Amino acid sequence: MSRWAVVLAGGSGTRFWPLSTPDRPKQLLPLATNEPLLVDAMRRLGTLVPVERTLIITGQSLADAVHATVPDVPRPNVVGEPRAAGTGPALAWAAAEIARRDADDPVMICVHADWAIRDTAGFRETLARAASVAERHRALVTVGIVPERPDPGFGYIQPGDKIDGARRVARFAEKPDRATAERMVADGYLWNSGIFVWRVRDFLDEITARTPEIAPALPHASRGDLAAFYAAVTPVTVDEGVLERSRNVLVIPGDFGWDDVGTWAALRRVHDRDAAGNAVSGDVHAVRSRDCVAYADDQTIVLYGVQDLVVVARDGLTVVTTIDGAADLKSLIEALPPAVRNRR
Amino acid sequence: MSRWAVVLAGGSGTRFWPLSTPDRPKQLLPLATNEPLLVDAMRRLGTLVPVERTLIITGQSLADAVHATVPDVPRPNVVGEPRAAGTGPALAWAAAEIARRDADDPVMICVHADWAIRDTAGFRETLARAASVAERHRALVTVGIVPERPDPGFGYIQPGDKIDGARRVARFAEKPDRATAERMVADGYLWNSGIFVWRVRDFLDEITARTPEIAPALPHASRGDLAAFYAAVTPVTVDEGVLERSRNVLVIPGDFGWDDVGTWAALRRVHDRDAAGNAVSGDVHAVRSRDCVAYADDQTIVLYGVQDLVVVARDGLTVVTTIDGAADLKSLIEALPPAVRNRR
């Protein structure tokens, strides 16, 4: 049985503003290594799935930039969505396209383009195991990350009964408050990572049975009519539209240093750091400074005697904030005049 | 009796790096108002002395830039020193030049180009009084600033016996440590500001009697031979070379918000501040930030959720430090590679 990979590479991401912009979203930026996150993601899939059987789903306006970033992927495998409709339609389209191209009822491995993962071998091993479980049990398998901290920024999964090295999903929990997150971590909940593994057929069957937002549009996808499919769907996440409604979801714990690199603080966790704990990129000189994040895109940054700052300089614009402030860039962007906010 | 003014506008100033550079020293920067400090200084002298009787002493390489900044001053009144030799030779040359151009034994008022002064009227009133005292008592008069804080960054003057609204100088004290500064302020010491007022003749006589570093070169100055004069002098400050050796020095207290704008912290004191205490210049957007200093010379700076930072962006270089760090930019500059340090 063959395997396919689906890499979700949508999302405009204001969280790394001013480095990230609609034209240059997070997955195209070198945030964890010296390569864009998307390149890291493709390397990571490496031995698991060949590029010929990897689909990348992104926004229509980004498709060329995405392909230019990972030119090994055949251009037809880069799908440009005519509109953002959430992960549900994106994965449904991918499943239908795989079904059209591979009659062997393959397993599809779904990941995002904008993660950082420390332990590539552990990642591959877990996904291979998830694929076996999905095949054997004809289940929707999600990988639940063993939490490294009580992070209120993630959804959580409560594992239930054991079954063949996996667990049934007892409950999906929304992003909690901090106290609830601490209790959940103590109680053995896992982070809902967004890593999914299932047979294409099983996933399409679940959508047909449970997802009225997508099911009526599936015939367009089966015919390969992207525009008609996206015109017909109602936006929905795969979590809400499929997983939370299904009775057949298993979770496999994963512990391979997964990070969704959702904020500058996350970036400080995943990026190489100097002896003083600074994560810097570009022409940055950190003197008597520690635990800072600095990105000099096309200019020079000098830090002197500061700590826990985030400094990003790009195209004549320098943003200076704290690690905490950087977690709420949305409020900043809203407070700025349009001429600054919309700087590209 | 006529009055002349001498404005010392030398000094390369790394203290405001990267905004200040040898080509664009502090006195040519708009640090206190929207005008360069030198323009502020000339306005301040205003009614006290006309521009025709004002000499500006600066470095040879800066003379044209200085004149371009204050074009009302006749070009011959801008003196470009062939080398930096301290305030002693600068004021000695000025005195000799005034003596050549004005036979009336005028009083000369000596100030620096790079100060900020809150109370212009108080400044003028004090200097007019100092001029009267200097004329009547044929004394070297220095204005001692009533301290606003126990600042270890200044020299101090201990006032002695009273004489005609002035005081004899009991002692000049070097820059003290903080504890000593606190004791001096409690004991009524004054800051040694560098504002001096005296008859040209008296000053030249004191130099002839007490300043072997300068006296032998005075005939060159009397002939107007700048190059020969500077070639012949030994560098010395006017404090060390004249005032501390003289028996005829009076001090008049001044209380008009004098600040030597010696650091970014000083700039925060003298510059206009927004409601959150930020002193900003250029295209700066301070959101949820307070008590910062930000200078955007040719780009945009966004501050978000930070305080007590100094951020200076100029010509593709952004320096981020704290108010405290900015007091010791010398250490920073030494720590940087030459390619960054020498950015102009």
Domain ranges across chain A = 3-259, 265-341
Q: Mutate one of A317, A323, A328 to test the B interface: name it (highest B CB count within 10 A).
A: A317
Q: What is the pLDDT of residues B11-24, one digit of tens each?
A: 766 788 888 888 88
> Taking CB atoms and an 8 Å limit, are B305 and A318 in contact across chains?
no
Q: Is the pLDDT of residue B344 over 70?
A: no
Q: How far B305 CA lies from chain A's nearest CA (Å)?
A: 6
CB B194 within 8 A of CB B112: yes
Does B303 lie at the interface with A, CB-CB under 8 angstroms?
yes
Split chain A (344 residues) into runs of 10 and give each run's mean pLDDT. Answer: 92 79 86 91 94 97 95 97 96 98 95 94 96 95 96 94 93 94 96 96 97 98 97 97 95 95 86 93 95 92 96 93 89 88 72
Q: Mutate one of A302, A324, A342 to test the B interface: name it (highest B CB count within 10 A).
A: A302
User: How many contacts does A have with B, using Cβ atoms within 8 A?
Assistant: 113
> Taking CB atoms and an 8 Å limit, are A302 and B318 in contact across chains?
yes
Q: How far B263 CA lies from chain A's nearest CA (Å)?
A: 15
Instruction: Give A150-189 as a 3 state SS string.
Output: CCCCCCEEEEEEEECCEEEEEEEECCCCHHHHHHHHHCCC
Q: What is the pLDDT of residues B241-286, one digit of tens each?
A: 999 999 999 999 999 999 988 888 888 888 889 999 999 999 999 9
Tell me, what's the pLDDT at A13? 66
Q: What is the largest CA-CA distance in chain A?
A: 62
* Lookup result for tokens 């295209």: B283
Mention every residue, 6+ apart, whose C-beta is less than 8 A from residue B80: B58, B59, B60, B61, B62, B63
Tell me, what's the pLDDT at A344? 55
Q: Where are the alpha helices (DSSP H) in chain B?
A: 37-45, 63-69, 87-101, 120-137, 178-186, 200-210, 218-223, 226-232, 238-241, 264-270, 329-335, 338-341
Q: How far A332 CA lies from chain B's nearest CA (Å)?
A: 7
Tell me, what's the pLDDT at B67? 97
Q: Mutate one of B264, B320, B324, B342 to test the A interface: name it (highest A CB count within 10 A).
A: B320
What backbone phi and psi angles, to 5 degrees, belong to A216? -65, -20
B-chain residues near A288 (CB < 8 A): 325, 332, 335
> Taking CB atoms and an 8 Å limit, are B332 and A304 in contact across chains?
yes
Q: How far B150 CA lies from chain A's nearest CA (Å)?
A: 24
Q: Quote the CA–CA distance of B189 and A55 in Å, as a whole number.
A: 78
Does B320 lie at the interface with A, CB-CB under 8 angstroms?
yes
In this structure, which topology does domain A3-259 adopt according to CATH? Spore Coat Polysaccharide Biosynthesis Protein SpsA; Chain A (3.90.550)
Tell me, what's the pLDDT at A167? 96
pTM of the predicted structure, to 2 decimals: 0.82
Q: What is the ipTM of this complex?
A: 0.82
Tell me, what's the pLDDT at A12? 66
Q: Quote the CA–CA distance of A106 and B232 in Å, as a whole number.
A: 92
